[in-house]
Amino acid sequence: MTSRERVRAVLAHEIPDRIPNGLGGCETEGLHIVAYDTLQKILGVERKPPRLDTFMTNAVFEEPVIGKMEGDILLLASLNMCGSEIRGEDIESQWKEQTLWGRTFSVPVRERFTERDDGVTVWESCGGAICPAGSYFFDFPGYTDLLAEFKVPDPDGFHPRDTIDERSLRRLEETAKRLYEETEFSLCLGECITDLQVAPGGMVGSMVLMKEEPDVMREFLDKCADAGLKQIKLLDQAVGKYVDILSVAHDLGDNRGVTIGAELWRDIYKDAYMKFFKGWRKRTKMRVNLHSCGSVSEILPDLIECGLEVLNPVQTSAAGMSPERLKEKFGKDLVFWGGAYNPQLIPTDASYDEVFEAVKQNVKLLGEGGGYIFAGVHNLPATLPESHIRAMLDAWRAVRDYSLR
């Protein structure tokens, strides 16, 4: 089977020749750019300064790397980078070299970084995000601000982005067509549409809104669903015949369960997701891929009812999210993407053999009967040891072939 045939079989809940390798295939199943640099070394490919993709400082997986690691999914485009446009075509003039963490990387030309004398790096073009000395991630101002005074926002003045400019659509179409015709990879379109993550008043403010003015919150969500569906129609016309998967994100859970509680989620969000996912599946054949961190097992029946098809990153350390339980309860309805290597459960000093056995067990459980795409749990960190990357890939290779089961 080709990579494209393999992934399409999994998405159709058919058993392919082997478990697809989806590492790097979407924004939330990749590697920090430092760890990606290590991957290039392991694979023996010529070093190319890794390209920075999204505020999470993960890397763009290039075609030679995907091919050498026997990957199956190529991330076509992303609108998730701070201040950066949709990407896809390989235009070197859009990138510049930048020194971060003592290494040379590539970043979009419009991104600006400043390194202070105290070792702190400031991402100037991304709201002044701060990477403390000795850290590999940026802290974003405002994310931890507490609610000073809650005011009910006016949904009449809320107009979420509901279009994609023609230039970006045509550029994306050209890239998708080239990759579809010149490679055998399955294509996944990144998080480039309006989704239901809207949080009027910030994280805390939106939670207050759900309790005090639930109809106002529902109106915000309804507008987001309408906007996203308009964009899906445009994307389907441009790339729908080339792309297998389209991604959105909404972190609904934490380690304990659904963050706002399952009942409140059903009361506030379920109708919006029903409209969004059902409308999505009427407008395009691109599969619904939802990224949600944490424990979402309690509302997975609801999301499946709404039309969810693929779930990532499969946070196996969260309550109710063990591979055994997920596969038993939801394996007939969902494709799981991720879950193989969980940095919350595997310490950095674990041996090669310990990592190999842990990953092999997870891949066997999640891959049983099909419906599984191999990757880690979210973007794996910069501190990922070289031996862990080797063990992770070796474990997948050891159990990937269905013909040997």
Say what the pTM is. 0.95
pLDDT at residue 83 tops 50: no
Is residue 132 reached through a cis peptide bond, with omega within 30 degrees of 0 on the bond before it? no
Q: What is the CATH number of the domain that holds 58?
A: 3.20.20.210
pLDDT tens per residue across span 94-104? 889 999 999 99
Those residues whose C-beta lies under 8 Å from the C-beta of residue 363, and which sit 6 or more positions away, are: 19, 340, 372, 374, 395, 396, 399, 400
What torsion, rounded to 10 degrees, do the Cα atoms 28, 34, 35, 39 define? 110
**Residue 138 domain flag:** no
Average of pLDDT values for 131-140? 94
**Residue 114 domain flag:** no
**Residue 370 domain flag:** yes
Of 268 and 165, the one with more pLDDT: 268
Distance CA 325, CA 308 (A): 18
**Residue 263 domain flag:** yes
Joined together, the tokens standing for residue 208 give 């207050």
Helix 214-239 to helix 202-212 angle (10° resolution) is 120
pLDDT at residue 167 tops 60: yes
**Residue 261 domain flag:** yes
CA-wise closest residue to 176 among 190, 164, 163, 165: 190
Joined together, the tokens standing for residue 238 give 């441009």
User: Which residues form the domain of 379?
Assistant: 3-91+147-404
Total structural domains within the chain:
1
pLDDT at 91: 61
| Local confidence band at 87 (pLDDT 50, 70, 90 cut-offs) | very low
pLDDT tens per residue across span 234-271? 999 999 999 999 999 999 999 999 999 999 999 999 99
Distance CA 294, CA 272 (A): 21
User: Is residue 69 within 8 Å of residue 374, measured between CB atoms?
Assistant: no
**Residue 231 domain flag:** yes
User: Is residue 115 within 8 Å of residue 133, measured between CB atoms?
Assistant: no
Burial label for 304, CB within 10 Å (0-12, 13-18, 19+), is middle
- In our burial notation (b when 16+ CB lie closer than 10 A, e otherwise), range 360-370 reads bebbbbbbbeb
**Residue 120 domain flag:** no
**Residue 65 domain flag:** yes
